Structure 1
Amino acid sequence: MVGRLNIAFVHPNLGIGGAERLVVDTALCLQQRGHRVVLYTMHHDPSHCFEETRDGTLEVRVCRTWLVPQSVGGRLHILCTILQSLALARSVATAREQFDVLFVDQLSAPIPLLKHAHAHILFYCHFPDYLLARRDALWRRLYRAPFDLLEELTTAEADEIAVNSRFTQETFRRAFPRIGRVPRVLMPALNLHAYDRPPEADDPALAVLRTDKRLVLSINRFERKKDIALAIDAFAALADRRVCLVVAGGWDVHVAENIEYLKELEAHAHGLRLRTRTVAPRGATAAALALLPAGAVRTPTFPEDDARDQLESTDVLFLPSFSENQRAFLFSVARCVVYTPTNEHLGIVPLESMYMRVPVVAVNAGGPRETIPHAKAGYLCEPTTDDFSKAIQRILADDDDKWAAMGAAGRERVQRDFSLDAYAVRLEHVIGEMLQRPTSASAVFGALMTLFIVCAASIAFVLAYRL
């Protein structure tokens, strides 16, 4: 075990998602092992975050980047994000306290500037960003080219690189041939104790979820790459109508895709003649309500509201920005969880589901192939309506004993391989080896390289946009 360290996490947005859950759990496990931990971020909304970052369990420092917008006229998103991340890196590098380790994830662009902090840098690569970018037009390809180079060169400046699965490791190797080193596989863990707390039964926000129907659950951010429409298609193909599909996920008023995709999914469900209902996040402002699909309802104030009767006539319930208590309740009553992304680099939701003894139906590709024991804790399927529908129906048709056995197998798998304690030991081993080596690269060179790439990207955008 390494000695007590000062560790800072550098993460762009502490919202609600798998990447954020990883950062929070990693910070928690290191803090519990006696290390001093601080989280730096560009955005932290107390109404849209994990509880540990809100209740004081973890120290969060927000770097306000007022001078850099999120976009310019709906464009230049990646450039603005990089500029914001550089401002965040400056805050870390000029902090009064000296950090031993910087845990950086998602964005590698600030790594060169973070060298000024004179700390060892561990970069956790969830998935190469450039593989997720759109390239459907010449100007987009020209615009992205400098950023793709920036991602590879700045990633290489980290003292240690880790990835979340063997699938991501192989993808990383192919994506970044210039780096010339294979990253470590460091699969994330779950804070199991957080899932052991039963839901607070008197929470008024649960009224909209109580029903005599059996529940099929989908949890994902409202992003098109998550292919949530597949869950709706598979559900529509079920013969049993005494079932309700709950589509819950991260939804942010500041993310245009979240807003657009939720509306697209509701329209898609209507096209399949499914009855839908959208429940607004608790405490949603009038501005947020205006961005939700038409007819979205507020969370009932009292449990005795007629929410149960309304849900009885609902096929698909959309639950954007659900609370942790709602999540706990849904896992406690769901018959199965449907996880639809293809080539997902890992997938925290299947791990959560298995630990909560809920069988999972997921795509037979990417991270889920490494985490879900097929036919024991769930089913791995081709991303087709027919395959998913058959797997869901199989779970719904199982008797209680077989269903419970499948849930127990999933829980045992997570307890054995994805506990926070086991993860902390692996992480400390990686950090210990990293600290034995001198920090790599030059801070001055890194800063000049970042400045050059950002300027080149700006010029590329101007030239490409005029084509």
Structure 2
Amino acid sequence: MACAALHALLLARPRADVFVCDQVSACIPILRLAGGRRKVLFYCHFPDQLLTKRESFLKRLYRIPLDWLEEVTTGMADCILVNSNFTAGVFRETFKSLSHIKPEVLYPSLSTKSFETTVPADIAELVPKRKKFLFLSINRYERKKNLALALEALHELRGRLDSREWDEVHLVVAGGYDKKVLENVEHYEELRSVATKLNITDQVTFLRSFSDEQKMSLLSNALCVLYTPSNEHFGIVPLEAMYMRCPVIAVNSGGPLESILNNVTGYLCDPLPTQFSEAMEKFVRDPLLKDTMGAAGRDRVMEKFSSEAFTEQLYQCICRLTQ
């Protein structure tokens, strides 16, 4: 980032009016060397110091100067944007010396062009047998994503349905997976063990490192998406699902509180299997619910989270900086 900042400062042409920095604030002091009327806009997705574990004394010691540097350099920006009201609250709690700064919320946008140009894969290649009630979970194979909640909710749903309905239920757990990342490997096996323990293996497909074509197919065919992490900074998966007219059942904390309209584009629940399964049952009982909520979800994405909405708000921020 420091090298990129120096390049932008010294070599980039034409001369910039505003430098836009994303996530890493350490380069801001370099950009400030430009002086004059040139401004720096910083987009904070989440404080970096909260994204790393400090399990050893050496790691904690190592992070002290980095955490201090992040706070000081963040405060040097002329304008600070965050990706949600939730992140704005975390920003204030984390950067105590910046209490005088009130960051503006600029919601991430969804690149809808890729959805329109991608050809969906054949759903038969992803699910062994075509099911009437297909549920979908999309997230990385990480413990903090609480993917076991989706499995436990599926198990709870079994008790709410008769045998004929249950036979038509299937859950696809699709997630980012890297065999070089130990947690991905371990958690994948942990989730398979949970499915075996709950006796739902016939109703679950685990999909690792899926393609865009596969994701499109799953979102097109799913009854709804189960979004299980708590206190997610924002979360792009609910936007992708809603754009594809697929309702979302999510935990009632973090970013989903701002992206999902409860009882309109999906359901916001406590992170409990009973509440998730209750919401899942509603989609099984009402065949029109997906269409109604799906249409509302598409409208919401286009209104608040489209590239056009993002562009217009960012443009207004830059205009204010350059006045």
Structure 2-normalised TM-score?
Answer: 0.85
Q: How many residues align?
A: 311
- Name the structure 1 match of 2:226: 338
1:269/1:94 CA distance change after superposition, 3 Å = farther
Answering whether residue 321 of structure 2 is matched by residue 401 of structure 1, we say no
Q: 2:43, 2:56 → 1: CA distance?
A: 30
Note if 1:165 corresponds to 2:106: no
Deviation string, structure 1 residues 277-304 (Cα, Å, up to 9, x no partner): xxxxxxxxxxxxxxxxxxxxxxxxxxxx
In the superposition, relative to structure 1, how do residues 402 and 90 fare at CA in structure 2: closer, same or farther (>3 Å)?
Answer: same
Are 1:208 and 2:126 matched, yes or no?
yes
1:264 aligns with 2:181: no
Cα distance, 1:378 vs. partner?
A: 0.8
Q: 1:92 to 1:383 in 2, by over 3 A?
A: same
Change beyond 3 A, Cα 1:194–1:136: same
In structure 2, the CA distance between the partners of 1:263 and 1:160, relative to structure 1 (3 Å rule), is: farther
How far the C-alpha of 1:191 sits from its partner, in A, is: 2.5
Shift in Å at residue 131 of structure 1?
2.6
Deviation at 1:210, TM superposition (A): 6.2
Whole-angstrom CA distance in 2 between matches of 1:153 and 1:185:
21
C-alpha spacing 1:422/1:152, structure 2 compared with 1 (3 Å): same
Q: Does 1:134 align with 2:53?
A: yes
Determine the C-alpha separation between the residues in 1 that align with 2:193 and 2:44: 35
Indicate conservation of the 8 Å contact 2:124/2:130, yes or no: no
1:369 offset after TM fit, Å? 0.9
Superposition deviation, residue 335 in structure 1 = 0.5
Question: Aligned residue for 1:427?
Answer: 314
Distance 2:2 2:293 in 1: 47
2:214 equivalent in structure 1: 326
Aligned to 1:222: 141
Partner residue in 2 for 1:105:
22
Distance in 1, Cα, partners of 2:13 & 2:52: 36
Give, in whole Å, the separation in 2 of the partners of 1:334 and 1:347: 19
Task: Give percent identity, aligned residues only.
Answer: 45
Residues 274 and 139 of structure 1: CA distance in aligned 2, closer, same or farther (over 3 Å): farther
Aligned with residue 193 of structure 1, among 104, 113, 130: 113
CA distance in 1, matches of 2:182, 2:14: 38
**Is 1:184 paired with 2:104?**
yes
Aligned twin of 1:306: none
Q: For residues 96 and 172 of structure 1, do their structure 2 counterparts lie closer, same or farther at Cα, with a shift above 3 Å needed?
A: closer
* 3-state SS in 1 of match to 2:223: strand
The answer on 1:248 being equivalent to 2:169 is: no
- The amino acid of 1:258's aligned partner reads N
| Cα pair 2:123 2:218 within 8 Å, conserved | no
Question: Structure 1 CA distance, aligned partners of 2:34 and 2:143?
Answer: 37
Specify which of 416, 420, 424 is matched with residue 303 of structure 2: 416
Letter in 1 for 2:184: N
Mapped to 1, the partners of 2:175 and 2:182 lie a distance apart of: 15
Relative distance call for 1:86 and 1:316 in structure 2 (3 A) is: farther
**Contact 2:118–2:212 at 8 Å: present in 1 too?**
no
The normalised TM-score by structure 1 is 0.61
Q: Which amino acid aligns with 2:247?
A: P
- The CA deviation at 1:98 is 5.0
Report the counterpart of residue 163 of structure 2 in structure 1: none
| Residue identity in the other structure for 1:184 | E
Contact 1:104 1:122 survives alignment (8 Å): yes
Structure 1 residues 391 and 181: CA distance shift in structure 2, 3 A = same
What secondary structure is seen at the aligned counterpart in 2 of 1:406?
Answer: helix
In structure 2, what is the Cα distance between the partners aligned to 1:397 and 1:221? Answer: 30
Letter paired with 2:119: P
SS of residue matched to 1:178: helix
Give matches, 1:346-361, under 5 Å.
346-361=234-249
Alpha-carbon separation, structure 2, partners of 1:326 and 1:126: 28
TM-superposed CA distance for 1:241, in Å, is: 4.1
1:122 corresponding residue in structure 2 = 41
Counterparts of 1:121 and 1:255, CA distance in 2: 36
Q: Which amino acid in 1 is paired with 2:253?
A: A
Instruction: Report the Cα distance in structure 2 between the residues aligned to 1:349 and 1:341, rounded to whole angstroms.
Output: 11
Matched, 1:372 2:260: yes
Aligned partner letter, 1:230: L
RMSD: 2.6
Structure 2 residues without counterparts, runs of 5 or longer: 159-165
* Closer/same/farther in 2, CA of residues 97 and 377 from structure 1, 3 Å limit: same
1:182 is displaced (CA, Å) by 1.2
**5+ residue gaps in structure 1?**
1-84, 276-313, 437-467
Structure 1 residue 147: Cα displacement: 2.4
